Amino acid sequence: KQEVTQIPAALSVPEGENLVLNCSFTDSAIYNLQWFRQDPGKGLTSLLLIQSSQREQTSGRLNASLDKSSGRSTLYIAASQPGDSATYLCAVSFLTGGSYIPTFGRGTSLIVHP
């Protein structure tokens, strides 16, 4: 059974700090990995998608890396802002029964205080 683990479960930082969120997975035969943001009681917003053949993706202050051999991905957020406060979820797509199915971690709850 594929498992996705996110560490830490919660994080509280002052505004302006650079921070790293971690995602680990048990099966290196992934199809892709996607990072999402979720605000309380809301749906998920896609942040970055990394194909299995890629090492990293960047969008603005966000950078996501992928190391399949070690089963790890990191999401780097530069110069954090209070508006970054949300839960960040990692989803890894594995081949299951002929289809690529995403498995989500439990997320990292981030609070950026002014």
Partner 1 sequence: ETGVTQSPTHLIKTRGQQVTLRCSSQSGHNTVSWYQQALGQGPQFIFQYYREEENGRGNFPPRFSGLQFPNYSSELNVNALELDDSALYLCASSFGEKLFFGSGTQLSVL
Rounded to an integer, what distance in angstroms lies between the CA atom of residue 101 and that of residue 29? 12
- Residue 47 or 77: the one with the smaller Cβ distance to partner 1 is 47
- Measured distance between the N- and C-terminal CA atoms of the chain, rounded to whole angstroms: 41
Query: With contact defined as beta carbons under 8 Å apart, do 111 and 89 qualify?
Result: no
Q: Is 60 near partner 1 (CB under 8 A)?
A: no
**Member of 13, 19, 62, 101 binding partner 1 (CB under 8 A):** 101
What is the tally of helices (H) and strands (E) in the chain?
Answer: 0, 11
**Residue range at the interface with partner 1 (CB under 8 A); choices 13-21, 67-75, 76-84, 98-106:** 98-106
Name which position in 20, 28, 42, 58 contacts partner 1 (CB under 8 A): 42
Q: What is the DSSP letter of 83?
A: G
Q: Which residues contact 81 (CB under 8 A, 6 or more apart)?
A: 15, 112
Candidates 11-19, 39-47, 63-71, 77-85: pick the segment binding partner 1 (CB under 8 A).
Answer: 39-47
Q: With respect to partner 1, which residue has the nearer C-beta, 45 or 70?
A: 45
Binding residues for partner 1, rule: CB under 8 A, are 4, 31-32, 34, 36, 41-46, 49, 51, 89, 91, 93, 96-107
